[in-house]
Structures are given as structure tokens and as C-alpha cells.
Amino acid sequence: MTSKVNTITTKPTVSAHQESEVEGMALLKAVGNTPLLPLRRVTKNISPDVKVYAKAEWFNPGGSVKDRPAFNIIRSALYECRLLPGMRLLDSTSGNMGIAYATFGAALDINVTLAMPENASPERVSILRALGAEVVFTDPLEGSDGAILVARQMAKEQPDLYFYANQYDNPANWQAHYNSTGPEIVEQTQGAVTHFVAGLGTSGTLTGVSRYLREYNPEVEIVAAQPDAAFHGLEGLKHMPTAIQPAIYDPKIPDRIAEVTTEAAHEMVRKLARQEGYFVGISSGAAAVAALQLAAELESGVVVTAFPDAGYKYLSDDALWETR
């Protein structure tokens, strides 16, 4: 009761704009605490003493794991006064991070500009437009690295207009997972997690979760999943040896790298949908391939991975679903 009285008495000191921003925070508070779902039928050849789970990151309000770093990047930029009123948030994206920025930008009255390769799926472009984000299309032949270079140049040319969020190099990215995803995994497995597997995009999930888990239990093994070649169809994942390396990526973190072929990941996406009811995207398929390969080698253990998003944004990809 006391706190309620306090809230009422302090309210008149908050301006209408600030109040709207505080209310916008309600959406951001829905980020995280995603379900930890078991993989069951796709694990039938695995030792009964090995359990495999995935964090269902599509339960986040913006529909992907990227809500976590987007929220933390925006929060830290506001707190440190690097994102000031009237400035636009700028970053390059393959889609999901842009959707997360656009979602929270709308909630907090922050305008968002995104550099994105022109061949982003039509679903992504439509979602970003629906959320009111400005999209600068970049040369599809130059891929995500081309979008990074365009965003860097725009930030350099107009530093007063843009807050360059720079998800690849911003420590608030991995810290989001250190502060939320890691603790959630420990809690949801009652501390029993033995292995963590994550696909490499910016490497934020792998870096943040691994740092937390290793502090909790230094014996936890970390596996990074990445495409088997520079040219691949694993949207959202990076082939680190041939791409611009994110500054937040520490190659010493993974105990090993699992190389996943596009075909194996696509097949797994179909299996997860049709055998488990998990309608997920391509990077989830790749994470599952790596997690199940690892699980097959174990006699006992609790393997946890993260499924970054749902399948909706890939529906236009007929080759993926083999529905033609």
C-alpha cells in the first residue's frame, strides 16, 4: 500500500513524454524467460541418460532471440546518454535484430534506420515496414558484411543524427545473454546443464551464455555451430573464417566448432516442425543438428541449445519446406 501511495505522489513530476516511455517499458519487460523445450522424437537414437533442450526464443515479443540484445543495447545507450532525443538508432541487420530494434523503437518513440541486404526475405521487409522502420537496402552480392560497411559509413558521415548500435561490436549484446539467457538455463535445468550449443551470428548468444555458465560450472562444454563453407544457406549464421569478425567474438570460448551443412539444417527444420511441432527457422535447424551430433556422442548429460526464431519469416522459401 505504501508503494502505491508513493507512485501516485511522484507521478506529477514525470512529463507526459517520459510517462509514455515508462509505459513503453512494459513491452520490454516481456523479453526473456522463454520456455525450455525438450527434443523428444528427434532424439530417439540417443542414450536415455542424455537430455536435449532448446530455449524457445521465438516466444519473445519481437519474435526472436534478438529481443534480448536489442533491449540491452537500447537500455545501455539511453542510460549512458549516447542515444539522445531526436537521434535515430542505426544498425546493419540480417532481419531479426532490425525487427527487435523496430519493435522497441516504436514502444519507446525512437526512430530506427537499418542497413539490410536487398535480398532479405519479403517477410522481413514487410515486418520492418509494418513497424515503421526506415530500411536502407544494400548490395545483395556483398551480403551482411556489405550492410555492415554501409552502416559504418552512414554513422561516420552523420554522427549527430545516428546512434550506431553496432550489434557486432557492442558488449551490451553478449551481456544481455550473460544477464538473462544464461541464468534462465541454469534455473530451468536445475543446474544440471552440461553442454551448451549455439549457432554463431554475432556470437552474442554463445559468448554471453558461455561466460555465465562457465562461472556457474567451469566444466560446462561449449560448442559453436557454424556453416561448413563461406557460401551457404544458413540465414542468420556466419562463417567466421571468411566474414568480418565481430569484436565481441572470442574464438577461445568454444571447446569445439561444429560445421553444419545447409542441407542438414534444412532437413532438421522440416523434422522439428513435423515430428516435434517446433515450427522454427533455419538457424534453429542448424543448432539442432549440432546439438544432436554432440548428444549422440554422450553417455549422459544435459545438452541445451537456443532456437533463435520461428519459421514464419521463411515461408516464402519453397526449397526449405519442400512444399512445391
Asked if 239 is part of the footprint of another protein (rule: CB under 8 A), the reply reads yes
Contact range with another protein by CB under 8 A, out of 41-49, 91-99, 270-278, 298-306: 91-99
Q: Please, which of residues 116-155 interact with another protein by CB under 8 A?
A: 116-117, 119-120, 140-146
Q: Which positions ≥6 away from 105 have C-beta within 8 Å?
A: 74, 89, 111, 112, 131, 132, 133
Contact 262, 232 (CB under 8 A): yes
* Min separation Cβ 97 and another protein, Å: 5
Specify which residues 90 forms β-bridges with.
113, 164
Contact range with another protein by CB under 8 A, out of 5-13, 50-58, 187-195, 236-244: 236-244
* Min separation Cβ 281 and another protein, Å: 12
Asked if 109 is part of the footprint of another protein (rule: CB under 8 A), the reply reads no
DSSP state of 141: G
Asked if 201 is part of the footprint of another protein (rule: CB under 8 A), the reply reads yes
Q: What angle do CA 270, 271, 275 make, to 5 degrees?
A: 125
Whether 66 is catalytic: yes
Binding residue (CB under 8 A) for another protein from 60, 94, 113, 170 = 94
Asked if 243 is part of the footprint of another protein (rule: CB under 8 A), the reply reads yes
Neighbour-count burial of 234, counting CB atoms closer than 10 A to its CB (0-12 exposed, 13-18 middle, 19+ buried)? buried
| Catalytic pick among 66, 238, 271, 313 | 66
The secondary structure of 24-91 as a DSSP string is: HHHHHTTSS---EEEP-GGGTTS-TTEEEEEEEGGGSTTSBTTHHHHHHHHHHHHHTT-S-TTPEEEE
173 or 194: CB nearest another protein: 173
Contact 43, 74 (CB under 8 A): no
Contact range with another protein by CB under 8 A, out of 31-39, 76-84, 197-205, 288-296: 197-205
d(CA 195, CA 226): 17
SS (H, E, C) 144-186: HHHHHHHHHHHHHHCCCCEEECCCCCCHHHHHHHHHHHHHHHH
Q: Please, which of residues 261-320 interact with another protein by CB under 8 A?
A: 262-263, 266, 318-320
Instruction: Residue 48: count other Cβ atoms within 10 Å of its Cβ.
Output: 8
For 197, list phi and psi in degrees, rounded to 5: -125, 130
Contact letters (x/-) for another protein, 149-188, by CB under 8 A?
A: ------------------xx--------------------
Size of the site for another protein (CB under 8 A): 42
Contact 60, 78 (CB under 8 A): no
Whether 283 is catalytic: yes
| Catalytic pick among 180, 203, 283, 284 | 283
d(CA 281, CA 234): 9
Contact range with another protein by CB under 8 A, out of 8-16, 89-97, 216-224, 296-304: 89-97
Residue type, 161: L
Binding residue (CB under 8 A) for another protein from 224, 237, 268, 288 = 237
Binding residue (CB under 8 A) for another protein from 232, 272, 289, 295 = 232
* Residues recognised as catalytic: 66, 283
By CB under 8 A, name the binding residues for another protein: 92-97, 116-117, 119-120, 140-146, 167-168, 200-202, 227, 229-239, 242-243, 262-263, 266, 318-320
